[in-house]
A = this chain, B = another copy of it.
Amino acid sequence: MISDRQAKERERRKDQILKGALTVFKEKGLEKATMDEIAKQADFGKATLYYYFSSKEEIFIELLDRGWKMIWESIEPALEDHEQPKESFMQALHIIGGLVTDNKTLFEFLFTAPQMMPGALMEGKPVWKNYQNKMYGVFQGLLEEGMAKGEFPEMQSDIMMRAIGGLFHGLFFLGHGKKRMSRETMEEFITSFIGNYGNS
């Protein structure tokens, strides 16, 4: 029998473990991260981690699931209005940019985690992948609708998606990270890029 109070406490401990795991994963990657180190970081014994999670991979996956769910839920409202695709597009990017600057460690993890993942972890259509696909799908859809409405210049939407994804990633994560990227600067870059492509 688990009381309401206990359930909340459990959640808090899971969070604590997840937070410790994030630190270690980000620093060492999935393979080099040891359960002992995660346990130390989270201030629990190793066996306790196994009381809350069934494996190292599960911790990793849960981190991704929660992260992408959070991203999706943050931008979803901005995506509902299909009347002004360009506006929705920019607004969503703006929101993500905000999340990223507030939460650099988490997002660096979310965006680079796929590279540390062996194929096995992708079995069973993981939750986070659904959110990611939904997000990319909507962005590309907005790009296409925007073109149809003349809000964007004509372009190959899939290639443009790659370009924008890379651009976004570069702005926020490349370089020595000394300087912070302001929302304004980001918006300026993307707008300029999208707005002017094809006009030259």
Contact = CB atoms under 8 A, between A and B. Distances in A.
A191 B196 contact: no
Nearest to A119: B27
Interface string A62-75: 00000000000000
Interface of A: 27-32, 112, 115-116, 118-119, 158-159, 161-171, 173-175, 179, 181, 185, 189, 191-193, 195-200
A162 B191 contact: no
Contact of A199 (B27, B31, B196): B196
* Interchain residue pairs A-B with the least CB separation, the first 6: A166-B170, A31-B31, A196-B196, A166-B166, A162-B174, A115-B115
A174 B159 CA distance: 9
A118 B163 CA distance: 28
Contacts of A163: 167, 170-171, 189
Nearest to A158: B175
A38 to B, nearest CB: 15
A200 B195 contact: yes
B196 A200 contact: yes
A198 B112 CA distance: 30
Contacts of A164: 170
Contacts of A115: 29, 112, 115-116
